[in-house]
Amino acid sequence: MEKEAIGRKQLLQEINCLIQGYCEGCFLYRQNVLDSGKRKSHKFCISECTVGGQIKELGCRLAGNRMQK
């Protein structure tokens, strides 16, 4: 149980570091919001951005930890 909590905490820290390091203030996200709207910009981040893909993968691992309980 304690090992799972540490793993979960580490995954959340990794996600937070990625968002703070790359996503906050991202020019592509801001430009896509202006051009296409927030929904399409978010879709771009998840499907085409490499950092978004990493965040998605970490999120899936995080969800997998919850489902195994």
3-state secondary structure string, the chain? CHHHHHHHHHHHHHHHHHHHHHHCCCHHHHHHHHHHCHHHHHHHHHHCCHHHHHHHHHHHHHHHHHHHC
Place of tokens 């020019």: 27
- The count of domains in the chain is 1
Q: What is the pLDDT of residue 69?
A: 52
User: Is pLDDT at 15 greater than 70 in this prediction?
Assistant: yes
Give me the domain span that covers residue 37. Answer: 2-68
- Write the pLDDT tens digit of every residue in 17-68: 999 999 999 999 999 999 999 999 999 999 999 999 999 999 999 998 665 5
